[in-house]
Amino acid sequence: MTVAFDFHGPTLDEAVAALGDMPLPPYIASRRAPDAQDVNDYQTVYAREKGAVAAPTAGLHFTQKLFDALDEKGIARHFVTLHVGAGTFLPVKAEDTGDHVMHSEWGEVTNETAQALNEIRQAGGRVIAVGSTALRLLESAADDSGNLGAFRGETDIFITPGVAIKAVDLMLTNFHLPRSTLFMLVAAFSGLDTMKRAYAHAIAQGYRFYSYGDACLLKPADPVT
């Protein structure tokens, strides 16, 4: 199907902003219509580039007040760009994950960010990825030894249990949906048994999953080398 618009450029952008609704994830949109508050709630405080169809949910926990607190403790922040695609919400239907076709997303790690993160690890510091999207992009930009380089383009990296995490020491992430590629990623990072126990605890305690949900700080099953 081909869709044609009467407007283009900035005029089209203005029309979409005026007439369109916030594209909430299907598990939210199926329960209620978007409202004005979603424009602020479903956006990170550090959003800069247009292009993603969804917010990186781990980033929704950050506020300027929290950034100020991190600054006071001398914790550095470095930013990457990854345009989350609609495919991130697709469940894995294949019985064998090797048969699943991973969606492709566009991302960028600048040379400045890559070198800054390399220097942090070389000095004995730790790289903490805020969200599965950030981790996926960093792993796409890393060589076999975990050294980061500049990256700009599409990535369809599929991280499942058994795939080594090379460039990230800790990760902050929300609780994800079952049978999702994102749950497979955290299982690869912290170990499947660990994540099963964590999710059993989350369900028993009534944690909220995914967007607008609760988060956890994860460490790797084995030390990153």
Question: Going residue by residue through the chain (225 aa), what tens digit of pLDDT does each one get?
Answer: 788 888 888 898 888 888 888 777 777 888 888 888 888 888 899 988 888 888 888 999 999 999 999 999 999 999 999 998 777 666 767 666 666 667 888 999 999 999 999 999 999 999 999 999 899 999 999 999 999 999 999 998 888 888 899 999 999 999 987 778 888 899 999 999 999 999 999 999 999 888 888 999 999 986 555
Rounded Cα–Cα distance for residues 216 and 62 (Å): 13
Is 92 part of a structural domain of the chain? yes
Is 54 part of a structural domain of the chain? yes
Rounded Cα–Cα distance for residues 88 and 24 (Å): 13
180 burial (CB, 10 Å; 0-12 / 13-18 / 19+) is middle
Rounded Cα–Cα distance for residues 146 and 224 (Å): 9
Please give the tally of structural domains in the chain: 1
Is 207 part of a structural domain of the chain? yes
Is 23 part of a structural domain of the chain? no
Is 26 part of a structural domain of the chain? no
Is 189 part of a structural domain of the chain? yes
Q: What is the CATH number of the domain that holds 141?
A: 3.40.1780.10
Going 71 to 76 to 79 to 84, the CA torsion angle's sign is negative
* pLDDT score at 160: 86
- For the chain, the C-alpha Rg in angstroms (whole number) is 18
Q: What's the whole-model pTM score?
A: 0.85
Is 22 part of a structural domain of the chain? no
* CA–CA–CA angle 162, 189, 73 (5° rounding): 155
* pLDDT score at 107: 94
Range of the domain at 154: 43-218
* pLDDT score at 222: 66
Is 25 part of a structural domain of the chain? no
* pLDDT score at 31: 85
**Beta strand extents in the chain (DSSP E only):** 81-83, 105-109, 128-130, 151-155, 170-174, 215-218
Rounded Cα–Cα distance for residues 16 and 13 (Å): 5
